[in-house]
Amino acid sequence: MNQNSFISLAFSKQVMFRAIKVALLVGTLLALINHSEKILTMTLSGEDFIKIVLTYLVPYGVSTWSAVQAIKNV
């Protein structure tokens, strides 16, 4: 696989580490904004749990895509 392919760059240690940090920060803030009452009262349903997981995956994906595009355009 080409060193500059999207997949190679997306799974590089540098990009993944940064994306995880962004996802943890942004995902936590969004989860608290959107689900704080259910988190605090521990009344999360299975559907709520899936929504929270997606809340973390979206900023991870956006950060990964942005970092890969920045690296490819250098």
Give me the pLDDT at residue 3, please: 72
What b/e sequence results for 22-41 when a residue is b if at least 16 CB atoms lie within 10 Å of its CB, and e otherwise?
A: bbeebbeebbeeebeeeeee
pLDDT band at 1 (very low <50, low <70, confident <90, very high): low
Residue carrying structure tokens 């690296």: 71
The pTM is what?
0.86
Per residue in 24-53, pLDDT tens?
999 999 999 999 999 999 999 999 999 999
Give me the pLDDT at residue 73, please: 86
